[in-house]
Structure 1
């Protein structure tokens, strides 16, 4: 194949309607050479990505977690770590105090949940990861002791309350954080200066001898736009946001129709002709 690596988003892109990897996709990846990296780039935490690499028989691959805020190599060594400052995390939590909004906190390999409810149960089911259960005050005190912050804050709740919070955060902190509205009921909050594209470029520079032009990337949402634009062949799934489709070199079928596998198979067949 002309290209030398794949970089893909997970939710809404790589996973099918069962939120799993299709047999067709797995079988295609199995045929790729061992020195052909398959790099996952997601807003997920590392442990919510590792089981997918195991299913692809690719356990030793770098991971781009938290939209590029936490990047690790094949052996778990941290290549880059960019956090939301503790005082800003505190302000985000403070804004939600008089609402029903659910707040999840993430740092490195850890996910902190305050209570078991509809939202936390849903994330456990979707990601196949168990959180650390403790109140946010304790989590913030822990981070204060280690002089650290959050790689991601995720807020979930009623559409109207989430829309209100999005507006408040955008108005007050737009220069400091990315706000990704992955669904009407979700906001994923990340540091402003990171992206999946900058993280992939870092991975390639540190671990490989080729560059962004040699990569195929797949995505569906706003946090994939830079990635799709920056690589040699950017592919949007059919269910992608219009803004993602507008910068893609190819639009494949939707994630529920195995779009990544379809595009990958086409590119592999082209390479044989």
Structure 2
């Protein structure tokens, strides 16, 4: 099999224990040809991914954002796919959180809206190196109604017991249309059920490259990476991945803290 591109998850996969790109990883990527695609696929918003591209010397390459709901190519600027949560569902999710300690964040394209800069917003800003726009969520939803827009992602953060309640309530009423993903006990990431990293990658390859999924080596660690790892030619789970991810992977490399992605790049592409 000839590997012609890499597609990788970010958090828990590409980033090390300090949540940065390690020197070994940067060195391995620098040795790849400039026309060899290194595609980032994440639940993150675009600007939370671009600074990583910049560090890798890969700014302008395609980005699979919001787990596949927003696929963009920056040079030239082009939106390849745009799938959002309906406004009705957004309003229902905000309503479920009212009167609880669940903190709701709304994402649409290049924008991230927070009702206040509290512990949860500050933590997310620190992790992603992006600052939110502070605006009451009711105002955001009213603005979106005028534009006939929805959210690419709704993220809920809060105490584990309240997140449990929110998850059960939202899944019961909207689970057929939305994918509710528990990235941590205190986090829920919500996206349309019709999209995935795998479907986004397939579309991107069809539109921009002359090869298919079978020529891609992909990396991941969590449930939202499973379809992608199954779909590509070489699906690699990092050593810290969930057992369900390791079970479907073609290969298991070292953990993200041990430069697992760099090890596989060195072995498969630089050896």
Partners of 1:238 and 1:246 in 2: CA distance: 12
Distance in 2 (CA, whole Å) between partners of 1:261 and 1:163 is 36
Deviation at residue 267 of structure 1 after TM alignment:
1.2
Q: Distance in 2 between matches of 1:95 and 1:268?
A: 48
Report the alpha carbon displacement of residue 256 of structure 1 after superposing the two structures with TM: 1.2
The answer to whether the aligner puts 1:122 opposite 2:118 as a matched pair is no
Looking at structure 2, the residues matched to 225 and 192 of structure 1 have their Cα atoms a distance apart, in angstroms, of 15
Q: Greater CA deviation, 260-269 or 207-216?
A: 260-269
Take 1:23 and 1:10, find their aligned partners in 2: how far apart are those partners? Answer: 16
1:204-215 equivalence runs, <5 A: 204-215=205-216
Say which is worse superposed, 164-173 or 43-52, in terms of deviation.
Answer: 164-173
Separation (CA, whole Å) in 2 of partners of 1:160 and 1:209: 48
Tell me the secondary structure at the aligned position of residue 45 of structure 1: coil
The residue that corresponds to 1:218 in the other structure is: 219
TM-score normalised according to structure 2 size: 0.98
Q: Tell me the residue number matched to 1:104.
A: 105
Moved more, 48-57 or 168-177: 168-177
| TM-score when normalising by structure 1 | 0.97
Aligned partners of 2:183, 2:107: CA distance in 1, in Å?
17
For these two proteins, the number of residue pairs brought into alignment is: 270
**Structure 1 unmatched ranges of 5 or more:** none
Q: Is the aligned partner of 1:201 residue 2:202?
A: yes
Deviation, 1:2, is 2.3
Structure 1 partner of 2:9: 9
Structure 1 runs of 4+ with >4 Å offset? none
Find the counterpart in structure 2 of residue 240 from structure 1.
Answer: 241
Corresponding residue for residue 253 of structure 2: 252
Q: Hey, what does 2:50 align to over in structure 1?
A: 50
Q: Distance in 2 between matches of 1:157 and 1:65?
A: 23
The answer for unaligned runs of 5 or more in structure 2 is none
- Displacement of 1:166 in angstroms is 1.0
| 1:31-67 deviation line (CA, Å, top 9, x unaligned) | 1011110000000000000000000000120000000
Greater alpha carbon shift after TM alignment, 152-161 vs 171-180: 171-180
Task: Give the deviation of 1:131 after TM superposition.
Answer: 0.8
Other-structure match for 1:189: 190
| Residue number in structure 1 paired with 2:142 | 141
Q: Equivalent residue of 2:254, what SS? A: coil
SS of residue paired to 1:226: helix
- Secondary structure in 2 matching 1:170: helix
Q: Specify the SS of the correspondent of 1:182.
A: strand
Aligned to 1:38: 38
| Greater mean deviation of Cα atoms: 166-175 or 6-15 | 166-175
